[in-house]
Structure 1
Amino acid sequence: MNPEEIQITDWGRIFLGEVPGSFMLEVVIRIAFMYLVLMVSMRAMGKRMAGMLGRTEMAALVSLAASIGVSLQDPTKGLLPVVIIAAVVVTIQRFIAWRGTQSSDFEQKVMDDLDILVEDGCLNLEAMETTRVTQERMFAQLRHEGIFNLGKVKRVYLEANGSFSILQFPEERDGLSLIPNMDPELQESQPRAAEKLACTSCGKLMQKQSTTKSCDRCGKEDWSEAVHC
């Protein structure tokens, strides 16, 4: 289309494009067919496609979406290529799923392994840097689970599918407060731990009377009063 052919008041072009109005009926048929292909493909790839997606499931879904988009919008593209692409994607996905049940090493290479982000009330900063999980993101996840004291957390696993698994200590413990600084009133309502400070970077605890200024876990020198809850 030449630039001079583009008019802001050309509502027919804006809403219908450069296809005849009869193509709208064809789009309905194409959408119904694509919907059927998607449902059959996802059913063939297993129940994981209806739950939280891993890397292979996400790749399969994106591949299907990419193949469908072109055939929906372009009247010159047929529907048979979509069926072929769907068959290939389903075959690859089912093979990966089957191969993963036969070899844990293969599954780990394809799906990745889990990472430990919190250990015994302290952040694993190295693992968080590797997985691109920030301290703010980690604290927000813990607060979402009703946890407001880092010391209560025994382990946080970042699963291969990107979800968090959180294990807590059953008893009350000392630790770094997870209440944000912008809410000082709620911070002050938390009971303070006796004679203990918490590193604001990793959560490591230290006695107040200690002469050490830097954290022996992360090397930072920023401390706050530990809480006990």
Structure 2
Amino acid sequence: MKPEEIQFGDWARIFMGENPPAFFIEALLRIAIIYIILMVSMRIMGKRMGSLLTRNEMIALVCLAAANGVALQSPERGILPVIIIAVVIIGFQKYIAWRAMKSTKFESLVLDDVDLLVKDGYLQLDKMEQTRLTRERLMAEFRHNGINNVGRVQRAYLEANGKFSILQYPDEKIGLSTLPNWDKDFHESLPKAPGNYACRSCGNIVKGAKPTHECDRCHLQDWEEAVIT
């Protein structure tokens, strides 16, 4: 379309574009066929497509959506290419699932692996940096699970699909509070562990007077009184 052909107030062009009126009737048939293609494709690719997706499954879903959009909007584009693209994507996904079942190395390479974020109440900062996960995002996940003390966390994993798995100690533990620093009133209401201080960076616990030295684990100097829950 030439620039001089674009005029504000041309409501027929704005709402209908340059498509002939007959195309809107045809679009109903296209939508029905493409909907069936998507439904069958998702069904064949398995129940995982209805839950949290891995990166590969997300890529497959985006590719299907991109292929279908063109056929819905342009009368010059047929539906057969959409069917071919869907078959290729489904076949590729099935192959990846089959290879992943045969080889754990291939599964880790293509679908990613589980990362350990917390071990025995201590934040694994190297893994958090590797997965580009912020400390506040992890603390928010703990608060969402009713955990107000990092020391209660025996293990915290970041699964390949981006979901968190958290295992807790059954008894009381001393550790770093998961509350935000600005919520001082709530923080003061938590039971403290006198003579124990937690590193705000990694959750390392030291006993005695408030430290004036760097943390042995993360080499930062930022301490607060530990809590016990």
TM-score between both structures, scaled by the size of structure 1: 0.96
Matched, 1:13 2:8: no
Code of the aligned partner of 1:215: C
Determine the structure 2 residue equivalent to 1:119. 119
Q: 1:115–1:154: structure 2 CA closer, same or farther, 3 Å change rule?
A: same
Q: Displacement of 1:124 after TM fit?
A: 0.5
Secondary structure of the residue aligned to 1:22 is helix
Q: In the alignment, what sits opposite 1:216?
A: 216
Aligned pair count reads 229
User: What CA RMSD, in Å, does the superposition of the two structures yield over aligned residues?
Assistant: 1.2
Q: Which moved more, 1:2-11 or 1:32-41?
A: 2-11
Distance 1:77 1:45, change over 3 A: same
Percent of pairs with identical residues: 55
Separation in 2, partners of 1:180, 1:48 = 35
Deviation by residue 1:4-34 (Cα, 9 ceiling, x = unmatched): 2111211111111111222222222111111
User: How far apart in 1 are the matches of 2:211 and 2:196?
Assistant: 13
Q: Which residue identity is paired with 1:110?
A: V
Q: Deviations over 1:72-99 (max 9, x none)?
A: 1111000001001101111111111111
1:147 to 1:210, Cα distance in 2 relative to 1, 3 A: closer
Hey, what's the Cα distance between the residues in 2 that align with 1:12 and 1:148? 59
CA distance in 2, matches of 1:44, 1:94: 9
Q: Distance in 1 between matches of 2:192 and 2:62?
A: 50
- Per the TM alignment, residue 208 of structure 1 is displaced from its structure 2 partner at its CA by 3.1
Q: Work out the CA distance in 2 between the residues paired with 1:147 and 1:96.
A: 37
Uncovered stretches (5+) of structure 1, i.e. residues with no partner = none
Unaligned runs of 5+ in 2: none
Amino acid at match of 2:30: R
CA distance in 1, matches of 2:18, 2:136: 49
SS at match of 2:87: helix
**Alignment partners' CA distance in 1, 2:119 and 2:16:** 58
Paired residue secondary structure (1:91): helix
